[in-house]
Chain A
């Protein structure tokens, strides 16, 4: 690995100042599970790694029924899924982050990093999209917010400008009668990369029979994670049954633009989008009925 400077600022202002100073030659560093591999394989070079793990705003983990979830970008996966309130209120997020890499990886890897890495297959991203996460970004010009479905712009690329840092994600409180789920298809349960991933969330009426609104998001079937907005919108006002689920699954398949690579073919991936969307919706509906 090429030489670089390493700093551990205590404040967000200091981190932003350092990031601005070094521009594209600086990277924010949290779990390191992607960035160190990429530096070692010369995917890119840096002059400066800014370790963001000591900044209070980036370490927040606050979760309640009233306020929702505020998740600092430097919080590792294990802290999130071991939080009882998160496990109760956001099971779809737990579905996603408890299958990222190994236990060793989950000790270090962060949801903020999974998002910034912007892999089309990043497991947490479809879950964040169906849970309507908002990204809070700090930069030299102050703060701005971006809906998570607009954050990734291409494989490995995101909306962050030079000098900007992802501070936290905010997930709104779950609506009454809501449920969500994320799952993926991989040949091996642990330590694998999604061939396809699918997330779904639903909000149901008081009787838990009719769907008021739904969101569907897909991973590893396009250059970025896909928010299949139409597929979810089709379910609004419909009875939750196999017929409506099938209609949404067909729309999700139409939203997928996969490639053929070492993990899977176009045909297999489109087929999997249908299978996984159906399963994600069924579990999301089941969870909505359990509450």
Chain B
């Protein structure tokens, strides 16, 4: 049994401590150690974006981050988006607009959209399509996703004002 390393980090605003091997990805630890199965394993090589999480405010492919690198960082997964009051506007609007079919890409898609709208609440369609190029969806053809993100941008701007 290889040595395991103790990692202290923040996941969804809670202090978290776990043991991992150096070769384990953040995705593996989120899913198999911490039980957060929202981030999905699609390609496991950084192409599909199904494993997207937000680390220190930036989206990353958690399959291409070593779990040991999470030390001292702050990570948001899809499980951290809804609050006691209800779903995040993006989640609600994805439901309203039926911006998903099988749902496998959806956690990554929503986190990418959140990272964009948090920085650029007025992102237009071209910007959304470019920003979300690293999140593959094989069901929707993307139009419904883009529409939902545009609507969520509007809703979040209204909510903020």
Partner-B contacts on A (CB < 8 A): 1-6, 31-33, 36-37, 39-41, 49, 51, 78, 101-105, 107-108, 188-191
Within 8 Å CB of B61, what residues of A?
A: 33, 102, 104-105, 108
Is B68 among interface residues, defined by CB-CB distance under 8 A? Answer: yes
A41 to B63, CA, bound (A): 13
Which of B41-49, B97-105, B147-155 has 4 or more CB atoms under 8 Å from chain A? B41-49
Q: Summarize B's interface: helix, strand, loop or mixed.
A: mixed
Question: Could you tell me how many residues of chain B have their Cβ less than 8 Å away from some Cβ of chain A?
Answer: 30
Within 8 Å CB of B25, what residues of A?
A: 36
Across chains A and B, which 7 residue pairs bring their CB atoms closest together, nearest first?
A102-B134, A190-B133, A6-B22, A107-B58, A1-B23, A37-B45, A104-B61
A243 to B2, CA, bound (A): 65
**A101/B46 contact (C-beta < 8 A), A4-B22, A32-B65 known:** yes
- Assess whether A6 is in contact with B66, with CB atoms less than 8 Å apart: yes
- Assess whether A32 is in contact with B134, with CB atoms less than 8 Å apart: no
In the complex, residue of chain B having the shortest beta-carbon distance to the beta carbon of A39: B23
Q: Which residue of A41, A78, A104, A191 has the most chain B CB atoms within 10 A of its CB atom? A: A104
Partner-A contacts on B (CB < 8 A): 2, 5, 21-23, 25, 44-47, 49, 52, 55, 58-61, 63-66, 68-69, 112, 115, 130-131, 133-135
- Assess whether A32 is in contact with B22, with CB atoms less than 8 Å apart: no
Q: Summarize A's interface: helix, strand, loop or mixed.
A: loop
A191 to B130, CA, bound (A): 10
Pair count A-B, CB < 8 A: 79
**A3/B134 contact (C-beta < 8 A), A37-B64, A40-B45 known:** no
B142 to A: closest C-beta gap in Å: 12
- Assess whether A107 is in contact with B60, with CB atoms less than 8 Å apart: yes
B66 partner, pick from A32, A102, A103, beta carbons under 8 A: A32
Within 8 Å CB of B112, what residues of A?
A: 103-104
A26 to B66, CA, bound (A): 16
**A5/B59 contact (C-beta < 8 A), A37-B45, A102-B49, A108-B65 known:** no
**A107/B68 contact (C-beta < 8 A), A3-B22, A190-B133 known:** no
Within 8 Å CB of B115, what residues of A?
A: 103
**A6/B65 contact (C-beta < 8 A), A102-B49, A107-B59, A108-B60 known:** no
In the complex, residue of chain A having the shortest beta-carbon distance to the beta carbon of B47: A191
A37 to B: closest C-beta gap in Å: 5
Within 8 Å CB of B68, what residues of A?
A: 6
Within 8 Å CB of B135, what residues of A?
A: 102
In the complex, residue of chain B having the shortest beta-carbon distance to the beta carbon of A36: B64
